[in-house]
Amino acid sequence: MDSDSTRSAPQPTWSHTVRLPARTALAAALVIGLTGAAAAPALAVAHAPATAAASAQRSAPDGKALRDAIKGLPNADATAALVRVGGTDGTWRGSSGVHDLVTGRKADPHGRFRAGSTTKIVTAAVALQLAAEGELDLDKPVQHYMPGLLPEGKFEPMPVRSLLNYTSGLKSGDGFDDEYAHRYDTLDPRKVVASAIAKGPEHDPGYEQHYRNIGYTVLGLLIERVTGDSYAHQAAQRIFRPLHLRDTYFPGADPHIRGPHNRGYQSMKQPDGTTRLVDVTEWNQSDRFAAGDMISSTADLEVFTQALFDGEVVPQPQLKEMFTLPELAPGAPEPIFGAGLQRMEFKGKVIWLKTGARYGYTNMIASTENGSRTLVYSVNATDAKGTGMNPIAERIALGAYAYATPVMLAKTVMLLG
């Protein structure tokens, strides 16, 4: 490693009619003992079709805003960003940053990453498919399908639907105290569920809506009980293979990301009080299971998002569950989730989205309900598990949805998982 040299940034690439001036990269001195050059965005842009009406042209993705959102990487907030904006209003593709901080070579725009809680939308889709097939009744209690899981007298009947819309009342399960120190260890999701159940309910099912992983961890086990098959195989058979998602899979206890991927880094405090970026690409995430263990790519997630909102993944009667907010107890905070997806409304526009984050990677899938504007991004954030929204991710979302506001985006922080 040559930590004292400054490398030239990878030159940008683009297609179609976009012409960007070449720019000299500046060294991005990140507090890690490494010096990497800031990589110019690599772009491939396609605007709304030439035959579209003028109004459609005006609603095409704002290429300048999106280019500005991801320029100058790596910096203190992120080392790379991959973005795909699509839908009937037009498309935009962009990537920026570096594959890793040691070599400084250009980020792979097709790189795979840990998808985090965007996994939950796949889990919800599998459950809703089973409901459409009559194998799963969303109104029946979990106790009907998994007798003995929830102790009688301690838990009220818990409708399957309450797992989907975060109203089950289950408390979070226990994990490792020092996750980084145990990143190669395996924690069985069943133990996580058992620890959550041992704490008793926080409230009766349907009373309030609290975003947590635990409901989807139980939902994954429920899918296995109903189908007699592994959750990972069901997701592959029902969704990944039919949609030809070649980059998407569940690694289980394997800490590596198979295939092309950009390295992930996390800012961590050291014993001496300094802060350094630590390579966190390798990590056994098996305890996240059906709530967040998936690996994917922006291309795959875009295909999945567009197919989902087009009604090609879940039949329309069941798809409505994703866009239906539950009725809660009087006085409870207003719900924002349907079956997995979060609803955001502003300036007459409605966006349904899901964010996700694992150390080194923060992601989002989003769409208007009619599919006119979809967004998928993955940012190699240095604070992926922080309490605030990553600045690069926020700028991308603002660029993709020009009618979004920082206040609205700040509300997505609770969704990272």
- What confidence tier does 25 reach under pLDDT thresholds 50, 70, 90? very low
- pLDDT tens-digit readout, 87-100: 998 999 999 999 99
CB 132 within 8 A of CB 315: yes
DSSP state of 240: I
Neighbour tally for 308: CB within 10 Å: 25
Domains and CATH numbers, the chain: 114-339 (3.40.710.10)
For residue 12, is pLDDT > 80?
no
Residue 389 confidence (pLDDT): 87
Pick the closest to residue 160 from 130, 201, 116, 193 (CA basis). Answer: 130
By CB neighbour count within 10 A (0-12 exposed, 13-18 middle, 19+ buried), where does 30 fall? buried
Q: Is the dihedral of CA 73, 76, 81, 87 positive or negative?
A: negative
Q: What share of the chain is helix, strand, coil (3-state, %, to 5)?
A: 30, 20, 50
Show the tokens assigned to 133: 């097939």
pLDDT of residue 388: 81
The SS3 call for residue 129 is helix
Q: Is the pLDDT of residue 390 over 90?
A: yes
**pLDDT digits over 332-367, tens only?**
999 999 999 999 886 678 999 999 999 999 999 999
Region 390-400: mean pLDDT is: 93
pLDDT band at 10 (very low <50, low <70, confident <90, very high): very low
For residue 150, what are the contacts with CB-CB under 8 A and spacing of at least 6? 142, 143, 158, 197
Q: Indicate the length of the chain as a whole number.
A: 417
Taking Cα atoms as reference points, which of 352, 341, 246, 340 lies closest to residue 295? 246
Contact by Cβ (8 Å): 384, 358: yes
Whole-number pLDDT of residue 270: 85
Q: Model pTM?
A: 0.87
Is the pLDDT at 31 greater than 90? The verdict is no
Tokens of 31: 């507090």
109 vs 27, more confident: 109
For residues 161 and 237, the answer to whether their CB atoms sit within 8 Å is no
Distance CA 97, CA 25 (A): 11
Average pLDDT over every residue of 385-409: 78
pLDDT of 180 over the 60 cut: yes
pLDDT at residue 53 in the model:
44
- Which pLDDT belongs to residue 408? 52
- Looking up tokens 């590596």 gives 256
What is the largest distance, in Å, between two alpha-carbon atoms of the chain? 69
User: What rounded mean pLDDT belongs to the chain?
Assistant: 86
Q: What is the pLDDT of residue 49?
A: 47
Pair of tokens at residue 111: 């790189």
Written as one letter, the residue type at 107 is A
Quick one: pLDDT at residue 59?
A: 72
Give the pLDDT confidence score for residue 32 in this predicted structure. Answer: 33
